[in-house]
Amino acid sequence: MKNKKNIMTHRKNILDLYHNSSYNLYISKSNISNAGLGVFTKDFIPKDTLIDFYYGEYTESLPGGEYFFRINKEGGINAIDIPRCYMAMLNDSSYRPKSKRGLRNFVEHNFINNCYFNVDIENKKVGVYSIIDIQPSTELFISYGSDYWNT
């Protein structure tokens, strides 16, 4: 764990997070209202660049949940354990907070997903790559996929 940080959350708990990126990443309050924390870069990140991997334990049980990334039918990466990797903390710019009725509302903002997941099924790895040039002080966003928002 190259860059490990203790992050004070809004609930006053310490959340251990880490990354192995060569870029200077940091955690701060997301620019998306009610989305919690987000991942930002202090460095310029060129288009089509590997930023880091989605780290966690590969498991063939399918626990689901917020920090589980399905790689194939048999299993995926569970990043729920602490310390948690930064890449598990990326927000989807199409984030829809739940209303009081439990329904997700469309949120209007000017953010776009500037990263994508690249799944290496053979080696059971998931890389996070930049879609566009990302400027310093920019929040990193990634699509969770349409299935995520339908649950």
- Give the structural domain span for 72: 3-149
pLDDT at residue 129, rounded to an integer: 97
Residue-by-residue pLDDT tens, the chain, 151 positions = 455 454 444 443 446 788 889 999 999 999 988 788 999 999 999 999 999 998 888 888 766 667 888 888 888 888 877 678 888 888 888 755 555 555 555 555 578 899 999 989 888 889 999 999 999 999 999 987 766 555 5
Q: What is the CATH number of the domain that holds 38?
A: 2.170.270.10
Exposure class string for 61-99: b at 16+ Cβ within 10 A, else e: eeeeeebbbebeeebbbbbeeeebbbbbbbbbbbbeeee
Q: Given this model, what pLDDT does residue 71 score? A: 84
In the prediction, which pLDDT does 3 show?
55
pTM above 0.85, yes or no: no
Task: Kindly state the DSSP code that residue 94 receives in the 8-state scheme.
Answer: T
Number of domains in the chain: 1
pLDDT computed for residue 109 by the predictor: 58
Q: Is the peptide bond before 46 cis (omega within 30 degrees of 0)?
A: no
